[in-house]
Amino acid sequence: MAPSFSGHVILVTGSTRGIGRAIAEALVERGATVAIHGRTLAQVEKVCSAIHPGRTIPVSADLSEPEAAGLLVDAVFRKGGRLDGLVNNAGAGRAVAFRGLKLEDWRATHRLNLESAFVACRRAYSIMRRARSGSIVNMASLAAHGPGRMMGADYAASKAGLISLTRSFALEAARFGIRCNAVSPGMVETEMTEGLTEENIRNLAIPLKRLGKPEDVANVVAFLISEEASYLTGQVIHVDGGQFMYG
């Protein structure tokens, strides 16, 4: 049976499309009230109506300004009355050669991918400590475990930093009953992979011989958030069709 989140309030950042939306849908299907986040409230409200108007909370924030992440967590806690889970999914990146990477672009990637997650974790920590429970999942990437390959060095470094943050947070928060894990997806069917041909996919040498689906990632995130994973913290789960076996 799928884990139940009845009565739980969970924030999923970057959840109006792609993997984030699939995560939100999976959690709502399992009974959670999910805070749907995006940059514009109109788009968020549209997604909430499509998923489940009664079990979604629309929230908007521009996480390219990391301080907004703390305000976002506060808004969800205020509207939902509690905060049982946080999924730091919001992020972005692009393929760029190292020689063409500018410092301002490096900093912008880290603000969105790493610093906003840090601020959200820190604020959620203060709420979850009082409840002495809670679960956080940070969305990393296969790129975090080696050279960026199809993504830039800024993206790879920000996601590697997110894995380190996950482990540091997990170690400190464990004594308060709070867990923190990370998920590293490989190539998933999203807007970022729309241009890939069948030949491109074969050349990726994915052992399971297909791209992942957003639902593949969402199911793992739902498990990690749930009490069924109550003895897992500080872990990184690869959802990549077996690509990480190559290192």
Average pLDDT, the chain: 93
Q: Which amino acid is at 117?
A: A
SS (H, E, C) 1-39: CCCCCCCCEEEECCCCCHHHHHHHHHHHHCCCEEEEEEC
125 assigned to active site: no
CA atoms of 90 and 111, how far apart (whole Å): 11
Predicted pLDDT at 229: 97
Residue 2 within a domain = no
Which among 125, 155, 231, 246 is annotated as catalytic? 155
Backbone CA torsion sign across 53, 6, 38, 187: negative
Residue 4 within a domain = no
Residue 88 within a domain = yes
247 residues of the chain, pLDDT tens digit each = 677 899 999 999 999 999 999 999 999 999 999 999 999 999 999 999 999 999 999 999 999 999 999 999 999 999 999 999 999 999 998 888 899 999 999 999 999 999 999 999 999 999 999 999 999 999 999 989 987 667 899 999 999 999 999 999 999 999 999 999 999 998 888 776 777 777 777 777 888 988 899 999 999 999 999 999 999 999 999 999 998 877 6
Residue 241 within a domain = yes
Q: Residue 162 is part of a domain; what is its CATH number? A: 3.40.50.720
Task: Count CB atoms within 10 A of the CB of residue 33.
Answer: 23
Total domains present in the chain: 1
Residue 224 within a domain = yes
Task: Count CB atoms within 10 A of the CB of residue 167.
Answer: 16
Predicted pLDDT at 149: 65
Residue 164 within a domain = yes
What is the tens place of the pLDDT at every residue in 154-200? 999 999 999 999 999 999 999 999 999 999 998 888 776 777 777 77
Residue 213 within a domain = yes
Residue 89's domain comprises: 9-246
Residue 3 within a domain = no
